[in-house]
């Protein structure tokens, strides 16, 4: 058995963690808090945030689209960091954290890719355009879907962890290009209005709703990540048992 | 004049519920 597999020679801690799957199986309080925060975000965005005059109500897609994009970048950033640490420390728990973060990141990126065209059609007059920001985001999604497919295709845990760590790190290199693409290339996509060197350029009510949305979607991400990580630990323990 | 395009954002919010709710359900089913 590979020394990098959960339950392998040096993997006492992961096994200990994996053999306590009952822990936390009750109510997921973090997920409940996240759901409440997201519901408050939606209510605030729909009923208590003014409609932007030139774009109309479709601009409210912003409060779902931008926080989902932020979380996607955060998720893939975590994949890169945990993958680097895995290649250095060879701790299987880091590989499982990367796997979990990648899956959750793909979910949030899917939301970005779905909500973007819904906003683009009424504002730009087209569902999709092959400009740098949109195309690179689609590539990011493909890379991490590929990452998950790769993991499913390799049986040996050590090899799976090494190969996917490399892909996870390389995929995250797209993130700065995506963020800077609106400065580097001609694009229909608007410039950043919050994550930029100068002060955010939004009216106060819109900015408050947006910042609240960033917080609530981040909490939702953490809840998903924790739950998915527990699932990964359980699966790794089962895999280790089957190999015995 | 402000355009009347609320349908697009309604669709986006419904899809957010479907995508994130669906993922939460998938996690719950897989952990059972």
For A199, residues 6+ apart whose C-beta sits below 8 A from its C-beta are none
Cα–Cα distances (Å) from A120 to A61, A202, A213, A239, in that order, read 10, 19, 20, 45
- Kindly list the residues from chain A whose CB atom is less than 8 angstroms away from the CB atom of residue B13: 42, 46, 60, 64
Q: Per-residue confidence of chain A (244 residues) as pLDDT tens digits?
A: 333 444 433 333 444 444 444 454 678 899 999 999 999 999 999 999 999 999 999 999 999 999 999 999 999 999 999 999 999 999 999 999 999 999 999 999 999 999 999 999 999 999 999 989 999 999 999 999 999 999 999 999 999 999 999 999 999 999 999 999 888 887 778 777 776 777 777 889 999 999 999 999 999 999 999 999 999 999 999 988 988 7
- Predicted structure pTM score: 0.89
- Kindly list the residues from chain A whose CB atom is less than 8 angstroms away from the CB atom of residue B24: 31, 224
Q: Find the length of chain B.
A: 32
Q: Is A152 exposed, middle or buried (0-12, 13-18, 19+ CB in 10 A)?
A: exposed
Interface of B with A in 1-20 (CB under 8 A): 2-6, 8-9, 11-13, 15-16, 19-20
Is the distance from CB of A101 to CB of A145 less than 8 angstroms?
no
- Asked if B4's CB is within 8 angstroms of A118's CB, the reply is no
Is the distance from CB of A221 to CB of A77 less than 8 angstroms?
no
Is the distance from CB of A56 to CB of B5 less than 8 angstroms?
yes
Q: Which helix (H) or strand (E) holds A186?
A: none
For A41, residues 6+ apart whose C-beta sits below 8 A from its C-beta are A63, A209, A212, A213, A216, A217
């Amino acid at each position: 058995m590979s020394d990098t597999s959960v339950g392998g020679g040096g993997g006492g801690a992961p096994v200990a963690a994996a053999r306590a799957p009952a822990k936390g199986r009750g109510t997921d309080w973090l997920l409940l808090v996240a759901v409440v925060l997201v519901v408050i975000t939606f209510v605030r965005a729909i009923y208590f945030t003014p409609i932007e005059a030139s774009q109309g109500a479709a601009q409210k897609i912003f409060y779902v689209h931008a926080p989902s994009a932020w979380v996607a970048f955060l998720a893939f950033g975590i994949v890169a960091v945990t993958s680097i640490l895995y290649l250095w420390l060879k701790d299987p728990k880091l590989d499982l954290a990367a796997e979990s973060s990648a899956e959750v990141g793909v979910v949030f990126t899917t939301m970005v890719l779905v909500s973007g065209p819904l906003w683009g059609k009424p504002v730009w007059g087209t569902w999709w355009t092959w400009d740098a920001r949109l195309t690179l985001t689609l590539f990011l999604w493909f890379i991490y879907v590929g990452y998950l497919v790769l993991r499913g295709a390799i049986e040996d845990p050590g090899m799976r962890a090494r190969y996917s760590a490399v892909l996870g790190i390389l995929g995250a290199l797209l993130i700065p290009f995506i963020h800077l693409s609106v400065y580097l290339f001609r694009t229909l996509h608007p410039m950043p209005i919050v994550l930029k060197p100068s002060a955010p350029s939004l009216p106060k009510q819109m900015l408050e709703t947006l910042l609240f949305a960033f917080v609530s979607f981040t909490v939702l991400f953490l809840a998903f990540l924790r739950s998915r990580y527990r699932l990964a630990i359980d699966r790794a323990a089962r895999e280790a048992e089957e190999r015995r | 004049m402000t355009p009347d395009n609320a349908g697009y954002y309604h669709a986006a919010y419904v899809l957010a519920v479907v995508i994130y709710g669906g993922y939460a359900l998938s996690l719950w089913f897989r952990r059972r």
